[in-house]
Chain A
Amino acid sequence: MSNKIISIVGDLGELTPQNLSANLSARFDTLIVAGQHALHKQADYSCVNNAEQLDKLMRERAEKTTIIAPRNQYAKYVFYNKIECLPLFEDLDPYNFDPLDCSQQILALATACWIGSPVVALFDFMLEPKKETPALKAILKIYPNTVFLFVRLKKGNKITVFNDVTNLKQMDETEFSAFYNQHIKKK
């Protein structure tokens, strides 16, 4: 398992194989996608907690992708290759984290944090004030020593909802490439 930068692709749906630049693709060290995201065939892992999506993914998955599913859904595919059961998220236990009752992008983020890396980059992440953004911010606070990069394809205004989060940097694709190059040089 590479621990350079773990990249997560969320549920927004803006990033597709068609608009994914070679520049960005080359900087995906370990790629985790939310469920059936358009990039699932390029991913190392796809995190899924929806039984229907899991059935589809098991039919369509690429050879390199390992599907990660909650225990009760994984049980159906125990005899298949390239599927694993979600790990136990011990760090999130005190917060009543339920892998069956969160979005697949939050599940992908929890998995990335469980795997562990000093830098986790979030792409194509959907923000929604009721549940998604608070859940995302909660996880960012649980891992204060991890640097999270909130990457958007194009330059835009800073998202103010993250103003109180010290371990998150907002950037566009070009800034991410520059950050990545610097980060890799440091190693």
Chain B
Amino acid sequence: MIEWPATCRNRSERTLKARPDLVHKINEFTARVIDICKKYKKPIQIDQNYNMIGIKTWWADGEELYHFLMTQDENNLQVIPELGVINSLSERLVMFKFQVIGPKDKKDSILVY
């Protein structure tokens, strides 16, 4: 989940109806996220449903997600450190927390637990 810009977080749909400035900001932010996602080879699904916290994305490739998470600072994005993996055996979503612990050029810089 990529968090909205600070001023847009936790805004109900009712609030947004009365605040076109925030809607504009949310749309701009979404467009920026889409542009960043377009740089990756495998398709990335962006959840179309409005969420008060941010944008939910679905990744097909683990390495690309890893790169995205490691470059969130330079892209000026903040990702909530939680990820869900769909288990291909059980088809269930398995949730993990993560923490960036090292430099981006290393392969094990994200601790998942």
Contacts and interface: CB of A to CB of B under 8 A. Distances in A.
Contacts of B92: 87-88
Contacts of A72: 113
Q: In the complex, which range does the number of interface residues on chain A fall in?
A: 10 to 19
Interface residues of B, number: 19
B83 A84 contact: no
Interface in A78-92: 78-81, 84-85, 87-88
Interface of B: 61-63, 65-66, 83, 85, 87-90, 92, 94, 96, 98, 108, 110, 112-113
A79 B89 contact: no
A76 interface: yes
Given A71-B94, A85-B94, A78 B89 contact: no
B94 A79 contact: no
Contact of A78 (B61, B88, B90, B96): B96
9 contacts: A66-B88, A68-B89, A75-B96, A78-B85, A79-B63, A81-B61, A84-B89, A85-B85, A87-B90
Nearest to B83: A78
What are the 9 closest A-B residue pairs judged by CB atoms, nearest first? Answer: A79-B62, A75-B112, A79-B66, A87-B90, A78-B112, A85-B94, A87-B89, A85-B87, A84-B89
A66 to B, nearest CB: 8
B49 to A, nearest CB: 25
A66 B112 CA distance: 20
Contact of B62 (A76, A78, A115): A78
Contacts of B112: 75-76, 78-79
Nearest to B107: A79
Interface of A: 66, 68, 71-72, 75-76, 78-81, 84-85, 87-88, 114-115
Contacts of A71: 94
B110 A79 contact: yes
Given A75-B113, A78-B83, 10 more contacts: A75-B112, A78-B98, A79-B62, A79-B65, A80-B62, A85-B94, A88-B90, A88-B92, A114-B89, A115-B89
B104 to A, nearest CB: 13
Contacts of A85: 85, 87, 94
A55 to B, nearest CB: 11
A81 B60 CA distance: 10
Nearest to A66: B88
A113 to B, nearest CB: 13
Given A78-B83, A79-B65, A84 B88 contact: yes
